[in-house]
Structure 1
Amino acid sequence: MQFGSHGNLEQHGFARNRFWSIDRSPPPPTASCNKAFVDLIFKPSEEDFKIWPHSYEFRLRITIGPGGDLMLTSRIKNTDGRPFSFTFAYRTYFSVSDISEVRVEGLETLDYLDNLKSRKRFTEQCDAITFESEVDRIYLETPTKIAIMDHEKKQTFVLRKDGLPDAVVWNPWEKKAKSMMDFGDDEYKYMLCVEAAAIEKAVTLKPGEEWKGRLYLSVVPSTYCSGQLAPLTALQG
């Protein structure tokens, strides 16, 4: 919650660094019951109000399917007496064989904000995104499906999202990796961050309103590309 820095908030918000509770009164499941899930809830503390003075309920359902597919469903409800706005991003990091052997499909021809160039706006010119140096971009008005193809592992990560119009693509590369205290010098070679997000246009909730965002992650053979994958019904749950 709160991608980027906003006032006194830290770079990627504070909800990710707080203790959550098991949600004892979650919304009922609407899909098949052959999936395991847990519901978590986060409510701000008095200390949190000092950082961001709004009252809300943040519910997160984590669902795992029989084949290991993962679905994250977030609901944020305004329990305050006034409207508030926020940005959002799932911090999803993927383990890859070699970043130079990875390509991302589904974002071609789209506009993006380049964080390495003061968020100037550009249009993606490549047929697929490949990596030869540091990348830190926010792609705008993205499709509901994005594919991360790992040729060496012969597999493709498929992201399907709902309520999250943007997508962040990030790899720190060698120089920045060495400057990060919690990042190994060579770890940039084996990871890629692709995040479903709502950043360019902040979400605004009036009192009592609720926002919902969903991310579905699966792995398929790398012979598939983003344009060939048949629609899944998981996002309907």
Structure 2
Amino acid sequence: MVDRAHKPSAISPSAGGPKPSVHSERDRVIATLPTGDSVEVLTYGATVVSWKSNGKENLWLSSAAKLDGSKPVRGGIPVVFPCFGPPPKDHATGKLPQHGFARNSTWEYMGKSSSESGKLASGGDDAVTMDFGLSTQQLSDEARQAWSYKFDLIYSVTLGRDGLQTMLRVQNKGSESFEFQMLLHTYFKVDNVSKTQINGLGSTSYSDKVLNASEQTQTDPTIRINGEVDRVYKSIKQNTTSILQDGQPQLDVIRDNLEDTVVWNPWIEKAKSMADFEPNDGYKNMVCVEVGAVNGWQKLDPGDTFEGGQIVKSHL
């Protein structure tokens, strides 16, 4: 396992009692705790499409999302790798599509895990980890030709009684270094985005894509969504970003070994322009708070490993 400084504190399981269950279907894996909390992960993109806690769905999924592998899923938690957004044409990722290939490749379900990847407890009575793998050999011919480096990805999804953890481990299996970006493109479900606040990004600089990628500084400690928002917050000092609804805590997003966070809501016109974004006014009930390493590039030498992700805790 990669040794990381400033790791989030572990969530410990209790002893005894009923065990979590993991059910694998043709195209997805579903884990359920004795409490009824559950998580559902497609093998296509290793995309988490549902996370329920205390009887409430925490993730937003478009009613028009394609779950058949025909295109990346609109909603849930798509995995972005090895580039974020449209890649620069003069970079090694330049021939790849927007957001890379991880979210539109079929991953291998590697089974229920007792791995120490990340900090949520695994293998306990009220926590379970599922591992998904993607390597060079599993890519389409088109993706391999566009990005020919040898790599292994392991994506660990841990459902615990206190939250959900998603961790991505990247290993360079080749003989030359490569550069990459990664992001967990999480769509959170909210009751009313106009009454939603996002805290924990105050005094942080960000690139505002709505304003031609101009550099700005978040002077207000609270972000409120009253129009299209597309911002990349960089080198964040505080580990936790909180989502509040009507002033009440709803979710905490805790970064692990990642310094950047994207905040996104398409608002009215952009939502209408996306064929797989339904209902058209679905922007009222979602906000993306996406942890990642997207400010510049992460360089990974042969044999080296990078690991980063998030723990999300629900207050509801």
TM-score where L is the length of structure 1: 0.87
Which aligned pairs between 1:55-204 and structure 2 lie closer than 5 A?
55-67=150-162, 69-142=163-236, 143-151=238-246, 154-184=248-278, 185-204=280-299
Over 3 Å counting, the alpha-carbon distance change for 1:57 and 1:147 in structure 2 is: same
- Structure 1 residue ranges, 4+ long, deviating more than 4 angstroms after superposition: 24-27
Over 3 Å counting, the alpha-carbon distance change for 1:32 and 1:20 in structure 2 is: closer
Superposed CA RMSD in Å reads 1.8
Show the counterpart of 1:5. 86
Over 3 Å counting, the alpha-carbon distance change for 1:37 and 1:26 in structure 2 is: closer
What SS does the aligned partner of 2:270 have?
helix
1:29 aligns with 2:116: yes
AA aligned opposite 1:101: K
1:206 aligns with 2:283: no
For the 8 Å contact 2:115–2:122, the answer to whether it is kept is no
For the 8 Å contact 1:3–1:11, the answer to whether it is kept is yes
For the 8 Å contact 1:23–1:59, the answer to whether it is kept is no
Deviations 1:3-57 (A, max 9, x none): 1112121111111111111236978337463211111110123512112111100
Show the counterpart of 1:230. none
AA aligned opposite 2:85: G
| Count of matched residue positions in the alignment of Structure 1 and Structure 2 | 219
AA aligned opposite 2:103: R
AA aligned opposite 2:283: Y
Query: Within 2, Cα distance between the matches of 1:57 and 1:88?
Result: 14
Structure 2 unaligned regions, length at least 5 = 1-80, 88-93
Which of 30, 50, 70 is the matching residue for 2:145? 50
1:17 aligns with 2:112: no
Query: Within 1, Cα distance between the matches of 2:306 and 2:167?
Result: 11
Query: Within 1, Cα distance between the matches of 2:113 and 2:314?
Result: 28
What SS does the aligned partner of 1:3 have?
coil
AA aligned opposite 2:155: L
Show the counterpart of 2:132. 40
Query: Within 2, Cα distance between the matches of 1:179 and 1:23?
Result: 37
AA aligned opposite 1:92: T
* 1:164 Cα deviation from its structure 2 partner: 1.1
Query: Within 2, Cα distance between the matches of 1:46 and 1:10?
Result: 13
Query: Within 2, Cα distance between the matches of 1:29 and 1:164?
Result: 18
Query: Within 2, Cα distance between the matches of 1:202 and 1:27?
Result: 31
* 1:155 Cα deviation from its structure 2 partner: 4.3
What SS does the aligned partner of 1:129 have?
strand
AA aligned opposite 1:28: S
Show the counterpart of 2:65. none
